[in-house]
Chains A and B, each alone.
Chain A
């Protein structure tokens, strides 16, 4: 097998991976970036809303208020040292991106324009703040392309369309790189690296209805699990209430803001029952749960009674065309309905993975070892949606994840540079460690009759949606655990019909399915274990947040164990924000 050597291997070329790679390449490190799709096709490109920073260009603002909002938004599960670090760094990073060429929208006075987003306040819970910087509706695209160009310039080495299979871990727990697969040739490649950074994004594909690109299969998280590293807080998955039913694409809150409302099969405006005041504008989790309950109780619409309807015809064609043009295209294209004449079928859609690979604010992957609950795995880093640092805690605020990826991408880059100074040589590699990773590939060479990848993935996504979606109880989740376990067993019986090597995308999808199944189990088991409602995890049978018992992070291990570790409530320099009820 071919081998290559680098100082750092970055797996994933979204905003997180590219920001880290840039820091390293500019710091004279020899960096490889591996991505399963062409780098600028990473999911970061989909982020339209923008990125938060307390620049105070529109209304008064400062990083400490941003920090307060983020801690509160996280429902007090976020780590306050990491949150302080992120909010303090934000303004600098926006300015840096601007200098690098990201065309942020401007105010008439020439300063960067900032829009108000949900969850933003002035003065620790006071008036609405305006904290989100955007490059029109293509912020993610602009950031990704700018970082890519800068990396090309800095001579980062790209392995485009290479699929990472598994990490290599030695007996002293050092990570020595990874085995990756060249998708075009089907040949494996061993990339030996003194440091490895996972930046593989989220796992939206766990759920049937989701907003994520199909590449978001959580590969890095599953690789960490197989290397003996736990995944943290996987029970926290953010759902958006109005995705196009059966498809997942987001219909923005703006539609309800303009006067659109939800109805069930009886034509009842059911949100009046769940939130008499805010009605359809109640917070995302409340609306999502209301939709799920309507459907569970048999008041869903359509032949399978599996969605509700979002009505906006009453707004009239002028208002719809003028204020919601994007929704017109979306509904016509993906739901085959014309919202001027008929309602849009909607269902809660999985949007963001708050959980992930546990890290500290330097991007180092940490886990309980001999001495503490947070010991660094030497040579291994993680940033972005695949990581859990944890700045989002139980619930992410809009505009905070683009910030997360650039802040911690840079921080990890800086820490790696220091690590490399003290770890100047590649550590010895043993064939048996490499064999372990290769055996994952060999497994897919078994031929014969068997189950299909597509069928199993579809069942997994439906199971996760039904048993671990927005409607969670002991009974439902316990059944979900059994169902996902049964699917995991059936995985052994899956066979590939195509055994060729060149561009065997079926094999890639099989590897992705393995990752999805192990993360499905992690998610449903962590959700069953947590007997409270906090942020995005809401249990009908434990409707309240229980700080006494549950203000702690969960850690799920590959063998099925769930352990816990404390939240880092002590910020770097300011006072702790103690838990308060999260009311808006």
Chain B
């Protein structure tokens, strides 16, 4: 529970767009990820806000394939849950 709360707090960002996408993903999709994907998500959260926005809005594709995979999942999750 508190491990997830810790990640939840890392999803609190400086931009509404990020809050919406990251918290939505955490609520709807995160629990269904495998541990490797969960680790990639946590790694993604360490990016600074502007880069995260670039990734999540599809303006830049991350070079690292694990990160790219989790970004794709977040974008898909946003479409299903909007």
Contact = CB atoms under 8 A, between A and B. Distances in A.
Interface in B1-27: 1-3, 5-6, 8-9, 12-21, 23
A314 interface: no
Interface in A504-551: 504-506, 508
A212 interface: yes
B82 A249 contact: no
Contact of B19 (A144, A213, A500): A213
A503 interface: yes
A141 B56 CA distance: 17
Contacts of B58: 329, 333
Interface string A192-229: 00000000000000000011111100000000000000
A522 to B, nearest CB: 23
A336 B15 contact: no
Interface stretch (A40-48, A408-416, A478-486): A40-48
Contacts of A37: 9, 12-14
B59 interface: yes
A335 B79 CA distance: 9
A173 B65 CA distance: 57
Given A333-B57, A498-B1, A249 B16 contact: yes
Q: Give the interface size bracket for A toward B.
A: 35 or more
Contacts of A498: 1
B16 A504 contact: no
Nearest to A215: B12
A145 interface: yes
Interface string B48-62: 111000001111000
B58 to A, nearest CB: 6
B44 interface: no
B16 A248 contact: yes
A138 interface: yes
B72 interface: no
A504 B5 contact: yes
DSSP majority for the B interface?
helix
Given A40-B48, A141-B49, A45 B5 contact: no
Interface string A347-369: 00000000000000000000000
A45 B9 contact: no
A377 to B, nearest CB: 29
B11 to A, nearest CB: 9
A193 to B, nearest CB: 25
A247 interface: yes
Given A503-B5, A503-B6, A45 B16 contact: no
B17 A184 contact: no
Contacts of B73: none
A46 B15 contact: yes
A334 B17 CA distance: 8
A44 B49 CA distance: 11
Interface of B: 1-3, 5-6, 8-9, 12-21, 23, 48-50, 56-59, 75, 78-79, 82
12 contacts: A40-B14, A41-B13, A45-B50, A141-B48, A213-B18, A214-B16, A330-B17, A333-B56, A333-B78, A334-B82, A505-B8, A508-B9
A-B pairs with lowest CB-CB distance, top 5: A45-B14, A336-B82, A503-B5, A329-B57, A46-B15
